[in-house]
Amino acid sequence: MDTDEVSPELTCSSCMTEVSEDDARYIAYSSDVSCVECSRYCEHCEDTGWESDSWYYVDQSEMWCEGCAENHANYCDDCNEYHTGSSFYVQDSNSSICENCIESFTYCEDCDEYYASACSEHDEERVIHDYSYRPDPIFHSMNDEDRLFFGIEIEVEAGHNRSEAAEYASRLEELSLAYLKSDGSLDCGFEIVTHPMTHEFYKTEAYELWNTLETLRSRNDVKVKAWDARTAGLHIHISRTGFNGGAHMHRFLRLVYDNQTLYEKLAGRSSSRWAKFDDAEQGSYDGPRDDDGNRTWTSRRNLKNKLENPRNSDRYSAINTQNHATLEMRIFRSSVNSTTVKAFLDLAHASVEYTRTLSVKDVREGALDDWRFVKYIHDKADVYPELATRVAKSVTLSEQIG
């Protein structure tokens, strides 16, 4: 018998795996033995707890145990995250808001309080609603059976034209097509938020929307900046009810995430801050340990987890899955050029419809390749005229044919 060999003397209380004394961890509140895989380490109190305990990211960087998060951090009711910075009380929603999110709320200088909507006593009439404004949606379609709806958010900077531009754009609210909101990411502008509409309704009936955008683009007294505004973006919400189910949504995500270059080119921007494509990457230690006790770190993309556990994904991603009723495409550069916005809308609609009936066999045979999707757009140029034109201008011939 080799006397230099030491048999494992400890057993993980969770998975019953034998662990050496050097690799063992001890649960702080019970002194139970745990292996590395079954336990976690609190970066605040430095205690060890079970992997199955409640753990929370604080400041989007550190993992804290439940006790430390509740007693030493502040929970924000807006972003639903814990922070160590200041917390502000919002009167009309009875909520606590972090210092990053509070910019989206209204501060009333007269009563020295924050509000989710307006201070009813001092600010009764507002053309630009507060960021938290959520009116009942007005659905516009050509067919009562329609289930696929799109909502567009267009962020614009207005500078010294802000009051005049907002007053003019507010006509869209009177027409039940859109409304205006403030946005903390803008310097001196507002956000145009449309009510849900079908692709067909946008193209054939929402002419007042397109006329309004073109006026904001060209008339000097109400002119705004969008495409050239570094602070502005354009987002398109897609109703989950318009998909055939989870598998369809997964194919849709794969089409976008597999073809980052194409989508960023057609969307007019690349943003690792506001529209990440690496948010679905997950890592883990795999394989046996080497002579130094280390294991290989492997990163994999997990779109299934992004759909099934959206709170574990990043809101500021190419496709935000955190909304209950919609998937949000955040990839677009802002624009008030009606042709460009229609092309963006076409891209969202085409992405959904192209992936609707694909089979597993189709996907395995390369149906999600970018050139196949480009061919689909060309073949459907009568449905997507603005997008087909944009593809022809933005994508080279060699890229189009793969």
What is the distance between the alpha carbons of residues 123 and 106, in angstroms, rounded to a whole number? 10
The C-alpha torsion from 340 through 342 and 346 to 348, rounded to 10°, is 80
What is the distance between the alpha carbons of residues 262 and 354, in angstroms, rounded to a whole number? 15
Output DSSP code: residue 402: -
What is the distance between the alpha carbons of residues 102 and 91, in angstroms, rounded to a whole number? 12
Burial class from Cβ neighbours inside 10 Å (0-12, 13-18, 19+) for residue 84 reads middle
Length of the chain: 402
Q: Do 40 and 54 contact (CB within 8 A), yes or no?
A: no
Output DSSP code: residue 271: -
- Can you spell out the DSSP letters for 145-195? T----EEEEEEEE-GGGHHHHHHHHTHHHHTTSEEEE--TT-SSEEEEEEP
Q: Do 368 and 379 contact (CB within 8 A), yes or no?
A: no
**Greatest C-alpha distance within the chain:** 92
Task: Supply 196's token pair.
Answer: 């849900």
Strand runs (DSSP E) across 219-317, as ranges? 233-239, 281-286, 296-301
Which among 336, 314, 96 is positioned nearest to 209, based on CA atoms?
A: 336
Q: So what's the pLDDT on residue 220?
A: 95
CA distances 328 to 68, 227, 277, 398, Å, are: 33, 20, 13, 30
List the chain residues with pLDDT less than 70.
1-8, 118-126, 282-287, 293, 295-299, 396-402
Task: Supply 72's token pair.
Answer: 């030493």
Q: Give the number of other CB atoms < 10 A from CB of residue 227.
A: 16
Run of H or E including 50 = strand 48-50
Which among 204, 177, 171, 213 is positioned nearest to 193, based on CA atoms?
A: 177
Radius of gyration of the CA atoms of the chain, in A: 25
- Helices 385-394 and 338-356 sit at what angle, rounded to 10 degrees? 100
Q: Do 345 and 152 contact (CB within 8 A), yes or no?
A: yes
Q: What is the pTM of this model?
A: 0.67
Residue type, 109: E
CA distances 257 to 153, 202, 300, 341, 368, Å, are: 21, 26, 13, 21, 10
Q: So what's the pLDDT on residue 21?
A: 85
Q: So what's the pLDDT on residue 49?
A: 93
Q: Distance between the two ends of the chain, CA-based, in angstroms? A: 64
- Can you spell out the DSSP letters for 85-150? S-EEEETTTTEEEETTTGGGSEEETTTTEEESS--TTT----SSB-TT--PPP--B-SSTT----E
Q: So what's the pLDDT on residue 279?
A: 84
Residue type, 304: K
